[in-house]
């Protein structure tokens, strides 16, 4: 019951956040030069003023900004993301086509970064100031300071071009006709380098936070009491230290979800993945405002959903959360 009340409060608090994000982005896009009609006219090589005026009327760009914003919010209430002028299809259908690649990339990268960062942080804290701690901390600093696009490009050069072990890009082999587990294995092979590229930077963040949290918790009184009782070091680490040290790491996982979604734009561009990140880049270049607003709406939903799950996990780890 306590967790359910916390979940309802978090969901209620997310609605104003979503509204502020969408309204703010809509107004910012209005300040940018050019619009969808300008991009269409540039693609077809020009047009007469009458045709341009008709296109602006058709896409509702002839109205004032408050009217356009009101129309957009009303469409959102009806779960209508609008029509893409560039792709010639509803925005929702295009996003649904691109969403699986981004979800797989994000979920796999976050899981790998969280698991590897937590494990390495525990090892570094257990061997503090020793050579394992020095080696892990140094590697974490290197991965954190290295741009993800450079890691991806070097991965393509080494593992795809020179060694030929992995495909250089794409989501799956086009025209292979694979189904079932064979197709799943092919997709996993294509996602191996993108997932590793995206997760390395975040793994470095998680291991640093986990190491610091472990060292802080081990100095607390209840850990000293457990040692005084003669408990085994493994039992102290798992039952007492780890559960409390996971709290900041779990919180950071929710905060990093939005950053990881932004980082997927670069990774998807490097590896030519047909996901939301690459679609957002194409929408910005082609001034497809409806598509860009739809991507932001779906991305905000994903980030809110991840943080909602993190809040629930936090409440399970710490019973004091939401106790009131």
**pLDDT for residue 139:** 84
**pLDDT for residue 304:** 78
pLDDT higher than 70, residue 319: no
Residue 217 class from Cβ within 10 Å (0-12 exposed, 13-18 middle, 19+ buried)?
buried
**pLDDT for residue 102:** 85
Residue located via tokens 């950071």: 252
In our burial notation (b when 16+ CB lie closer than 10 A, e otherwise), range 98-107 reads bbebbebbbe
Residue located via tokens 């086509």: 97
Per-domain boundaries in the chain: 2-77, 94-317
CATH of 94-317, one of 3.30.70.1230, 3.30.450.20, 1.10.3720.10, 3.30.70.260: 1.10.3720.10
Q: Could you tell me the pTM of the whole model?
A: 0.76
pLDDT tens by residue, 29-77: 777 666 677 666 666 666 667 777 777 777 676 677 788 778 778 887 7
pLDDT tens by residue, 283-302: 777 777 788 888 888 888 88
Residue 94 class from Cβ within 10 Å (0-12 exposed, 13-18 middle, 19+ buried)?
buried
What spatial distance separates the first Cα and last Cα of the chain, rounded to whole Å? Answer: 11
Inter-axis angle of helices 131-145 and 91-126, nearest 10:
150
């Amino acid at each position: 019951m306590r967790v359910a009340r916390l979940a309802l409060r978090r969901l209620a608090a997310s609605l104003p956040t979503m509204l502020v994000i969408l309204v703010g982005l809509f107004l910012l896009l209005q300040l940018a030069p050019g619009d969808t009609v300008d991009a269409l006219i540039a693609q077809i090589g020009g047009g007469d003023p009458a045709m341009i005026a008709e296109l602006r009327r058709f896409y509702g760009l002839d109205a004032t900004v408050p009217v356009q914003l009101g129309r957009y919010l009303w469409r959102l209430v009806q779960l209508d993301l609008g029509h893409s002028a560039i792709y010639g299809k509803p925005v929702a259908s295009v996003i649904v086509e691109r969403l699986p690649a981004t979800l797989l990339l994000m979920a796999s990268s976050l899981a790998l970064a969280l698991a590897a960062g937590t494990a390495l942080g525990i090892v570094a804290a257990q061997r503090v100031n020793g050579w394992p701690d020095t080696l892990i901390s140094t590697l974490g600093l290197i991965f954190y300071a290295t741009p993800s696009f450079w890691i991806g490009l070097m991965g393509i050069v080494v593992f795809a071009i020179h060694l030929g072990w992995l495909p250089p890009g794409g989501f799956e082999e086009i025209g292979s006709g694979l189904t079932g587990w064979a197709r799943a294995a092919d997709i996993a092979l294509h996602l191996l380098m993108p997932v590793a590229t995206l997760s390395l930077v975040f793994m470095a963040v998680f291991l640093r936070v986990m190491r610091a949290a472990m060292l802080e918790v081990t100095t607390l009184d209840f850990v000293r009491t457990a040692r005084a009782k003669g408990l085994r070091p493994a039992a102290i680490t798992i039952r007492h230290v780890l559960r409390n040290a996971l709290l900041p790491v779990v919180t950071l996982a929710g905060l990093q979800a939005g950053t990881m979604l932004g980082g997927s734009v670069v990774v998807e561009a490097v590896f030519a993945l047909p996901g939301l990140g690459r679609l957002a880049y194409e929408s910005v270049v082609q001034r497809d405002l409806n598509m860009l607003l739809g991507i932001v709406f779906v991305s905000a939903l994903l980030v809110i959903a991840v943080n909602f799950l993190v809040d629930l996990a936090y409440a399970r780890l710490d019973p004091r959360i939401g106790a009131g």
